Amino acid sequence: MLDRLFSFVDILSGNLYIVLNSIHLKRRVTLEIERIIEQLNRAFWKNAWHGPALMEILSDVSAALAAARSIPNAHTIWEIVLHIASWKSIVERRLRGEIVSATSEQDWPPVQGLSAAAWQQTMAELQQAHDSLVHTLSKMSDTQLETKSPGQDIPKYITVHGLVQHDLYHAGQISLLKKF
């Protein structure tokens, strides 16, 4: 029955070509990895569904504001940005097969210097960590998402979705800290 409906099915270079009753249709098969990368980029750069993405929130943050501890015993914006960058790097290393157990200093890296130049360096490191993560993900297959990183109990799929959630959670914190 199906062979009467479909005259021809060919999967080539990620594209699905179907000739159905002499009507040619071309449909791009979207991979899950591409959807995850899109969500990572939306949460990080712009066009997040919920509102401003992380980099949009950080776009007007000065070194002084980033370093301000406006709520006692709470992290500063600067500390949160270092934390986000660190976890992007940790996850990227795990996706590449490294066994990474985050130390407390890797979890919350200390701020090194409070100058405008140091803040710009921190922002550059955040962007580099994000770009490196996306690059590593872009080389993976959907099947690899089902596997676990060495030393981890959850599939890579859950880990990378968790990283999207992590970015947005901390973006919300930063938004609130900017109001104080």
| Residue range 76-96, pLDDT digits in tens | 999 999 999 999 999 999 999
Contact in structure between 48 and 42 (CB atoms under 8 Å) = yes
Same domain, 86 and 24: no
Report the range of poorest mean pLDDT among 16-25, 26-35, 80-89, 169-178: 16-25
- Whether the predicted pLDDT of 17 surpasses 80: no
Please give the residue range of the domain that contains residue 1.
1-30
pLDDT score, position 14: 43
pTM of the predicted model over 0.75: yes
Could you give the CA distance from residue 171 to residue 53 in angstroms, rounded to a whole number?
A: 7
pLDDT score, position 28: 54
The percent of residues in the chain predicted with pLDDT above 90, rounded, is 77
pLDDT score, position 30: 63
pLDDT score, position 49: 86
Same domain, 43 and 90: yes
Q: How many domains does the chain have?
A: 2
Same domain, 8 and 49: no
